[in-house]
Amino acid sequence: KAGVTQTPRYLIKTRGQQVTLSCSPISGHRSVSWYQQTPGQGLQFLFEYFSETQRNKGNFPGRFSGRQFSNSRSEMNVSTLELGDSALYLCASKSRTSDGDTQYFGPGTRLTVL
Amino acid sequence: AQSVTQLDSQVPVFEEAPVELRCNYSSSVSVYLFWYVQYPNQGLQLLLKYLSGSTLVESINGFEAEFNKSQTSFHLRKPSVHISDTAEYFCAVSSSAAGGSYIPTFGRGTSLIVHP
């Protein structure tokens, strides 16, 4: 099976702009989660989508939003970018089988806000 | 609430030496435990996991971890490291969240640096 894919891999934006990141999960996985990784805060959970519905949400401001499509692909949007939004954004998919909700990660999108 | 503590932010070791990366967790319910590895400019790769059954779990590249419920630990070990093991290692604990989904909490990571 193909792994989790994320596009784009690298992105440079300026403060105040908005950005959309895309994630395609492993085939058959219906859950997609997003994480923000920074040197200072480590890995922080943003939100999880399952069957096009947000199932769980982390402690991030409303500028961070997401959605999931019927084919399980997911997008994450950040509006009014701030310098502190510079981070590696990771997407993970999982399947609730005997796999124990194991998350499989994509390569990430490196976002730089100038 | 669940939390994960990786006691060492950096572990330097010489090639072919043994290594242990420590991980302690806290959770009030049954948990799943994971170790992930991250190489520079890449995402996280699952190294091994404990779901149930045998408390000793192994990966295909020689790492092993032992679930110790009484000490709430899940330390990662390898008897002989290689230069290519240099990476960031993350311990994660996962327990049931709202909606029945398991959301993992990650430790801050341990940077394993293998010297020749």
Contact A108 B42 (CB under 8 A): yes
The angle formed by the CA atoms of residues B21, B25 and B30, to the nearest 5 degrees, is 125
* pLDDT on residue B29: 73
* pLDDT on residue B1: 73
Task: Say if strands A5-7 and A19-24 run parallel, antiparallel, or are unpaired.
Answer: antiparallel
Per the CB < 8 A criterion, the answer to whether A109 and A86 are in contact is no
For A:54-113, CB contacts with B below 8 A are 55-56, 90, 92, 96, 100-108, 110
Give the minimum alpha-carbon distance from A55 to chain B in angstroms, rounded to a whole number: 7
Q: Which of A43, A55, A93, A109 should one mutate to test binding to chain B, selecting the residue with the greatest count of B CBs within 10 A?
A: A43
Q: What whole-number percentage of chain A has pLDDT above 70?
A: 95
* pLDDT on residue B103: 79
Q: Is B101 at the interface with chain A, CB within 8 A?
A: yes
| Grouped pLDDT means (10 residues each) for chain B, 116 residues | 90 97 86 91 90 83 92 95 96 74 87 96
3-class DSSP assignment, residue B26: strand
Per the CB < 8 A criterion, the answer to whether B24 and B7 are in contact is yes
Residues of B in contact with A45 (CB under 8 A): 103-105
Contact A48 B103 (CB under 8 A): yes
Region A75-101 average pLDDT: 88
Which of A78-82, A94-98, B88-92, B97-101 has the least mean pLDDT?
Answer: B97-101
Query: Is omega for the bond preceding A39 within 30 degrees of 0, making it cis?
Result: no
Q: How far apart (Å, rounded) are the C-alpha atoms in residues A108 and A43?
A: 12
Average pLDDT, chain A: 92
Q: What are phi and psi of B84, to 5 degrees?
A: -70, -10
* pLDDT on residue B99: 57
Q: Which amino acid is at B66?
A: E
Say if residue A111's pLDDT is above 80.
yes
What tokens appear for A64 in the block? Answer: 């961070």
Contact A100 B45 (CB under 8 A): no
What tokens appear for A82 in the block? Answer: 């701030």
Q: Is B94 at the interface with chain A, CB within 8 A?
A: yes
3-class DSSP assignment, residue B30: coil
